Chain A
Amino acid sequence: MNDNLLPIILLSLQVSALATLCGTILGIPLGTVIGLFTFPGRNLTMAFLYTLMGFPTVLIGVIVYLLLSRYGPLGNLELLFTPYAMVIAQTLLTTPVIAGLTMSAVYMKEKSLAETAQSLGATRMQTVAVIIKESKRGIWTGIATAFGRAISEVGAVMLVGGNIQGSTRVMTTAIILETRQGNMTNALVLGLVLLLVTFVSQVFLMIGMIATFQKNKTG
């Protein structure tokens, strides 16, 4: 293997974690609004959101590439082939996943909780807060799924990151490179490391999830 593995693993984690964070910040409010409030065209929006959850990542890559390319609308930011471009692409991937799973989680809880909360004298905002709190499990699932999809994604980060050694090379693009050079053993080893890294990060996410449940119970 001609690369140092540690920076590649770290970059993978950084990019995907940041994209998951952005996806969480954007996705939870979005999912909550669609899940809790009725508005015209809501069913269509739901269907649209579910479609976005399965959006082909390579297509996300092409779109972000065109937006950021030198003569594209955001070309003057000079973000193409930087880790930021990878974060942008993966945020487009994580946001719908988190929004969609948040939406279905709060939608389920809404019916059972809204009336109770309101009968106990809760204001509208307090009701929403209670529902979000009670939907934690579903929201955490969304975050974990989004992170898993982001870190194992390859098409978009290859296109917008460019797989530059020491700069934008992540685990998945390194695997592609090793395979193309005929270094199957290296590719397999890297794949196993990726699997392990994903597993460990999901365990950490789970620990976070369990901690919030317990706080919820005692508090």
Chain B
Amino acid sequence: MKKWGLILSLLLVIGLTACGKSGQQAQPSAQLSPAHQTPAQTPAQTPDQTPGSAKENTSVSAEDIVLATTTSTQDSGLLDVLIPALETSLDHKVKIKVVAVGTGQAIQLGQDGNADVLLVHARKSEDEFMNKGYGTYAWDVMYNQFLLVGPKDDPAKVKSAFSAADAFERIAKAKAVFLSRGDNSGTHKKELSIWEMTNVKKPSGDWYKSVGQAMGATLQMAGQLNAYTLVDEATYLTHKEGLEMVYSGDKAMFNPYGIMIVKSTKKPGTAKQVVDFIVGSEGQKIIGDFGKDKYGKSIFVPNAKQR
């Protein structure tokens, strides 16, 4: 009986927190959509159109654009602000469907023609994608940095490291637990490139755990296991999980985001409008302001520039 009481109370707590969160998120979008959608769309279009085109209009009233992106842009909450503003600026004629996955899968989605626009952060893979002719109209969008985070007592003494490679080497030498995303994501690729710069090259052993999960889940695991992990600034600022930043600032930990149109998209015009908004002055301002009120600094630094 005691056990069930415990489980029930757990359920209640879970239910309450879930409701609280969804309530907060639902509010702004619920306010936005009816207010802007109804007056803008319906009355303006119907009067001077022939029956034929009116029919066409109802079936394709809003064009869907699939935006494949990495989990960090979604988990940070940036898209909750950016996407509604983007849809408003396009008069709600475009509906953005966000698929947030690892960069590996996002790029695969692009290659297979299952996405129209990519917003990712793995420069090497992006260049490959462009060079193979899968993409077009690529832009730099924004950047932040990767951080090395770990337990507060810092068992590997990483805080006094003088470079990213040195920090990683200290962890390996101390055999302190290190979690690797291990999923070919942008973060994972960055991590491997830093190991490449050390004497370790290919880390292995009980202390090095490859978890094969998204950033949020990996960070949470690191918090539970008192482990070190490499995390993008956006995810860390939004979910600290009891870890401390132990090293940052090396050029090797720079984290640029890029946006590009999938060449095979059936809606190139709309896709271009989407990209133009995000790299344009309004989109860049939203990115630069995002997070300032909550974290005292912006999570992403806008730096739009066509490649």
A residues at B contact (CB < 8 Å): 62-63, 66-67, 69-70, 73, 80-81, 158, 162-167, 169, 173-174, 177, 179-182
Q: Mark B1-14, 1 if CB is under 8 A from A, else 0.
A: 00000110011001
B100 → chain A closest CB, angstroms:
11
Is residue B252 contacting chain A, with contact meaning CB distance below 8 A? no
Main secondary structure of the interface of B (DSSP, over half): helix
Q: Out of A66, A69, A158, A180, which one reaches B183, CB within 8 Å?
A: A180
Task: Pick the most buried of B104, B107, B209, B212: most chain A CB atoms within 10 A of its CB.
Answer: B212
Q: Which residues in B have their C-beta under 8 angstroms from that of A73?
A: 6
Q: Out of B101, B104, B212, which one reaches A169, CB within 8 Å?
A: B212
Establish whether residues B224 and A70, one from each chain, have CB atoms under 8 Å apart when the complex forms. Answer: yes
Q: Which residues in B have their C-beta under 8 angstroms from that of A173?
A: 212
Establish whether residues A63 and B209, one from each chain, have CB atoms under 8 Å apart when the complex forms. Answer: no
A181 to B185, CA, bound (A): 8
Establish whether residues A177 and B212, one from each chain, have CB atoms under 8 Å apart when the complex forms. Answer: yes
* B204 (CB) vs chain A CBs: closest residue: A166
The 9 A-B residue pairs whose C-beta atoms are closest, nearest first, are: A182-B108, A165-B210, A177-B212, A181-B104, A182-B105, A163-B212, A181-B184, A164-B209, A180-B102
Main secondary structure of the interface of A (DSSP, over half): loop
Q: Which residues in B have their C-beta under 8 angstroms from that of A162?
A: 211, 213, 217, 221
Question: How many A-B contacts are there with CB distance less than 8 Å?
Answer: 60
8 extra A-B contacts, CB within 8 A, seeds A67-B10, A81-B225, A163-B211: A66-B10, A73-B6, A165-B182, A165-B211, A167-B209, A174-B212, A177-B182, A182-B108
28 examples of A-B residue contacts, CB within 8 angstroms: A63-B7, A63-B10, A63-B11, A67-B10, A73-B6, A81-B224, A81-B225, A162-B211, A162-B217, A163-B212, A164-B212, A165-B209, A165-B212, A166-B210, A174-B212, A177-B182, A179-B105, A180-B101, A180-B102, A180-B105, A180-B183, A181-B102, A181-B105, A181-B184, A182-B105, A182-B107, A182-B108, A182-B109
* B108 (CB) vs chain A CBs: closest residue: A182
A164 → chain B closest CB, angstroms:
5
Q: Mark B149-165, 1 if CB is under 8 A from A, else 0.
A: 00000000000000000
Q: Which residues in A have their C-beta under 8 angstroms from that of B10?
A: 63, 66-67
Q: Which residues in A have their C-beta under 8 angstroms from that of B210?
A: 164-166
Q: Which residues in B have their C-beta under 8 angstroms from that of A158?
A: 213
